[in-house]
Amino acid sequence: MTASALEFKPESANSLMKEVMERSGQNLTACYQCRRCAAGCPVGEETGFVTPDLLIRMVAFGDREQALNNQLVWKCVSCYTCGTRCPNDIQTARITETIKKMSKEAHLEALNHKVAHFHKSFTDAGLGRGRVNEMAFMTFYEIKNTITEIKKLNFNNIYRELKQQSKLGLSLHKLKRMHFGFQSAKGRKELKRLYKMQDKIRG
């Protein structure tokens, strides 16, 4: 899925730009579209070629619909390659994180529900016990995926997914790379407090 032509919307351009800059802490006006971030983005081909520079342009144009609803927002892996390459030190990964949160607040459905479920399940598993346990993480993930597929009546997808993940899980267990026990880390309450604090700071 590639991005459609951008439409300049002066009535919302300033407000959207201001909101994203305040919440992300990044100066988007410093971007002069050199595209160094695009050249280094490892997921560029997986996002319909919606690259960090294009995301900034969407915001600058005031195109809230495309800015909040594109593949890059959900498939960005926060590797910070874009920020490292940027001559003006714009950390675009923080911009995608901010826009992802804005998308959730607007109750927009993720273009790829599996990516959204993966993100949420990973966070929940880590906060629950202070460390990510593979079994807890994948259990959360598969439950969320299954519920989504049931709503869409995609029962064949459910069967294929569960079959594939079951084989993978058993293989990892045989190799002693996945454990069925649940271990907890110390300081879980402190971890949750820091997460909530950071979440509040970001937006």
Domain ranges of the chain: 10-105, 113-202
Q: What is the pLDDT of residues 129-154, one digit of tens each?
A: 777 777 778 888 888 888 888 888 88
Mean pLDDT of 2-10: 67
For residue 38, give the nearest of 26, 27, 49, 29 by alpha carbon: 49
Name the average pLDDT for the chain. 83
Q: Which two tokens stand for residue 42?
A: 């490892």
Tell me which of 3.30.70.100, 1.10.10.10, 3.40.50.300, 1.10.1060.10 is the CATH number of domain 10-105: 1.10.1060.10
Q: What is the pTM of this model?
A: 0.68
Alpha carbon distances (Å) from 102 to 60, 106, 135, 137, 154: 16, 6, 30, 24, 29
Mean pLDDT of 78-107: 91
Q: What is the pLDDT of residues 74-92, one digit of tens each?
A: 888 889 999 999 999 999 9
* Lowest pLDDT segment from 131-135, 155-159, 177-181: 177-181
Residue 167's pLDDT is what? 86
